Structure 1
Amino acid sequence: MSGWIIAFGIGALAFLLLLFVGRMPRSAREIVAAALLLGLAGYAWQGHPGLPGAPRKLADGGAVQFDEKLAEQRRGLAERYGPAGQWLIMSDSYGRRGLTKEAANILLSGLKQTPDDPNLWLGLGNALVAHADGVVSPSADYAYRQALRLDPAGPAPRYFYGLALARAGQLQAARDLWLPLARSAPAGSQVKAELEANIGRIDAMLAAGGPAQ
């Protein structure tokens, strides 16, 4: 409800400023009013006036944060252009606002058009993990496996599926995905160095029997 109040308040204030400060002529008043109403209609269609003006909260009270670094890594390893890139850009825009459900739904819409795109399946897996606050749900696991099936030789599905598993505490499964990827990565590359460092941490944690970090 507060969204509607703010929107109408801004519209009314803009009209009054144009009327009294800008000395808007009488002949232009109807046109300006129609333009403002059109803007409000667009807000009602595209916006979320019924939602509170804050990002979604976690159970511990912290706000859901969009992982910008993760998105950039995905763009570097997987898509940048083409239909998949467009869907993923739209999904990321929702994710930045904490609208994780909408972010996943955008990718589902993309998959209806191109169901065999591994980048969309990979993005869906990441979006579902974000929606579940880091839990690799059965639907997220399915999305990652679809990406692996469609792009078995690509580095992106194995990298991000392993990352999601590691963050969820499934260390051995993450190591099994990452070790062949690290061995095949170009020598001296940043990805190879990162994977080897992560595998080293996993080995240390598995040896100590400690929790995932």
Structure 2
Amino acid sequence: MIWVLFLALAALVLAPLGFALFRPARTTGRAEADLALYRAQLAELDRERAAGRLEEAAHRAATVEVQRRLLAAPERGVEGKQGGGAAILAASVFLIPALGLGLYLWGGHPGIPAAPLVERQEAAARDDALLGQLRARLEQTSPGTEAYRQGWILLGNAERGRGRLDAAAQAWDRALASRFDPALAAEMADLRIQQGETDAASALLARALQQDPADPRLRYLTGLAEARAGRNANARSTWRALLAESPQDAPWRALLERQLQDLP
């Protein structure tokens, strides 16, 4: 009986997908679809904050992350309807629950209880030990090598994924000291903005813009750092200039317009 319930739940979750598949399709661009997704994510974050389920700091960090993805997304051309893609999605509505059930019956263990707190703490300790070993190994690597730089980038990514922003910043600092890269500088500046260190973020972005002055993400983050620092006039002029030079179909235009409207 429990498997029937699992299948019913999976069908319920995938019902919106099935509904979308059988609606009349229309031609749309990937950029438009991306923009709609990001708008929906931002609106959901606003609703969670208004309902009191999301603290202001968490809301701000999540909003910055959505904005980061939007600015990092490449521009795409307009795409028409693809019957093959729709067929694959339609098959997925039925195959995903069946595949999931089959895999669980083959290798799952429904009788195993949830991992207690002690086990989760032990797993976290093992992760800490592995990252510590990586850090120690990188300390012994020659600073001028690409392996050294890439290692610190990976370590920073791991630390950021665990929510340890200070440790991530320290690792990325080492990578940037090895070789300055505008893309990594943008990630670092984004992190600094989340930490409230807007002056450090602005300095990084100014240096990155010297190498890549047209990069929209660097310019957007420059405006964001200015806004977070309370320099609204600078943020407004930065974002207006970026908006004026952005293509009409650029997926970040709506984000810029919204940020400009929200400025005091």
Which TM-score band (shorter chain)? 0.5 to 0.7
Q: Unpaired segments of 5 or more residues in structure 2?
A: 1-54, 75-146
2:176 aligns with: 111
**Structure 1 pair 76/87, CA: closer, same or farther in 2 (3 Å)?**
farther
- How far does the alpha carbon of each residue in 1:6-59 deviate from its partner, in whole angstroms, 9 at most, with x for none? xxxxxxxxxxxxxxxxxxxxxxxxxxxxxxxxxxxxxxxxxxxxxxxxxxxxxx
**Structure 1 pair 88/76, CA: closer, same or farther in 2 (3 Å)?**
farther
Correspondence for 1:74 among 63, 68, 73: 68
| Aligned residue pairs, count | 136
1:136 aligns with: 198
Instruction: Report the RMSD for the aligned CA atoms in angstroms.
Output: 3.3
- How far does the alpha carbon of each residue in 1:116-174 deviate from its partner, in whole angstroms, 9 at most, with x for none? x111222222222323xx2413x222111112111101111110121122233221111
1:50 aligns with: none
1:46 aligns with: none
**Structure 1 pair 68/106, CA: closer, same or farther in 2 (3 Å)?**
farther
Give 1:68 shift: 4.7
Give, in whole Å, the separation in 1 of the partners of 2:242 and 2:153: 24
Correspondence for 1:183 among 234, 244, 254: 244
The answer as to whether partners of 1:79 and 1:119 remain within 8 angstroms in 2 is no
Structure 1, 64-73 or 102-111: larger mean CA deviation: 64-73
The answer as to whether partners of 2:155 and 2:171 remain within 8 angstroms in 1 is yes
Please give the secondary structure, in 2, of the residue aligned with 1:199: helix
The answer as to whether partners of 1:162 and 1:177 remain within 8 angstroms in 2 is yes
Q: Which amino acid aligns with 2:171?
A: I
Give 1:105 shift: 1.2
Give, in whole Å, the separation in 2 of the partners of 1:89 and 1:79: 21
**Structure 1 pair 79/122, CA: closer, same or farther in 2 (3 Å)?**
farther
Q: Which amino acid aligns with 2:262?
A: R
Please give the secondary structure, in 2, of the residue aligned with 1:67: helix
1:161 aligns with: 222
Give 1:90 shift: 4.5
* Identical residues among aligned pairs (%): 29
Please give the secondary structure, in 1, of the residue aligned with 2:198: coil
Give, in whole Å, the separation in 2 of the partners of 1:181 and 1:63: 27
The answer as to whether partners of 1:88 and 1:123 remain within 8 angstroms in 2 is no
Give, in whole Å, the separation in 1 of the partners of 2:150 and 2:69: 8
Identify, as 1 or 2, the structure richer in helix: 2
The answer as to whether partners of 2:70 and 2:252 remain within 8 angstroms in 1 is no
Give, in whole Å, the separation in 2 of the partners of 1:186 and 1:70: 22
Higher RCO (CA-CA < 8 Å; seq separation 6+): 2
TM-score (norm 1): 0.52
Q: Unpaired segments of 5 or more residues in structure 1?
A: 1-61, 206-213
Q: Which amino acid aligns with 2:221?
A: F
